[in-house]
Amino acid sequence: MEDNNINYEYILRYLKRTLRADEGHIEDVRRVAVGMNLPIARVETVRFLQTLIASSNAKRILEIGTAIGYSGLSMLEAAGDDGHLVTVEKSPDLAKLARENFEGKKVELIEGDGVKVLETLDGEFDFAFVDAAKGQYGAMFDNLMRLVKTSGVIVSDNVLYKGMTATDDLRERREITIIKRMRAYLDMLCNDKRLVTSIVPIGDGLAISYIVRKD
């Protein structure tokens, strides 16, 4: 097995040669991110996000964890001309590059810690993508539920975390706290009766949560 123990190597190779490749500006941003060794979303993850956004007609999108804008630009592409992105990035250096990459797009980029920024946001979103500090997902949950509308979708990335979430056989000592918190977060998503949640073993693991109701 390869690629963080989430999937078989031959499946990954097949997905990468079969799924549509990025083009133009988005491909340029992806190449820069890879060159910087940034942990950006994988192509199979991005295509899945785009499929969810296009099929649900999501227009107002929230992202926690901008990096330099690759996933944000990809989601905006799926949302169409009237799509709008609010995205949060903790690193000032990455935020600066992202602003350059977002030039001309309908994007509000907020610098700061995702947990704290979420507390300050208002309005309603159709779709949220969480790809920030893995140990903080649980602390974001209440505000994600407040901000994403009924019939909206919350997608949480890296939930299988190199396979370590699924088995203690892979667990590294320095990751124990993160893994415990991620398991607790997944338990929360899967057992909250306001949500219908599925966990998909692509990329580094995705949790897709559809909000049935908010009360």
- Smallest CA-to-CA distance from 165 within 155, 179, 175, 185 is with 179
| CA proximity to 89, closest of 110, 105, 115 | 110
Spell out the domain ranges in the chain. Answer: 9-211
pLDDT, residue 4, reads 55
> Exposed/middle/buried for 209, CB within 10 Å: 0-12, 13-18, 19+?
buried
CA 172 to chain centre: 23
pLDDT, tens digit, 9 for 90 and up, residues 151-177 = 999 999 999 988 888 777 776 777 888
**Calpha distance 197→142 (Å, rounded):** 16
What percentage of the chain carries pLDDT values higher than 90? Answer: 80
Residue 1's pLDDT band, with cuts at 50, 70 and 90, is: very low
- What is the band of 119 on the pLDDT scale with cuts at 50, 70, 90? very high
User: What confidence tens digit (pLDDT) does each residue in 201-210 have?
Assistant: 998 999 999 9
9-211 CATH: 3.40.50.150
Quick one: which of 155, 140, 128, 151 has its CA closest to 214?
A: 151
pLDDT in tens, 76-93: 999 999 999 999 999 999
The CA distance from 26 to 32, in Å, is: 10
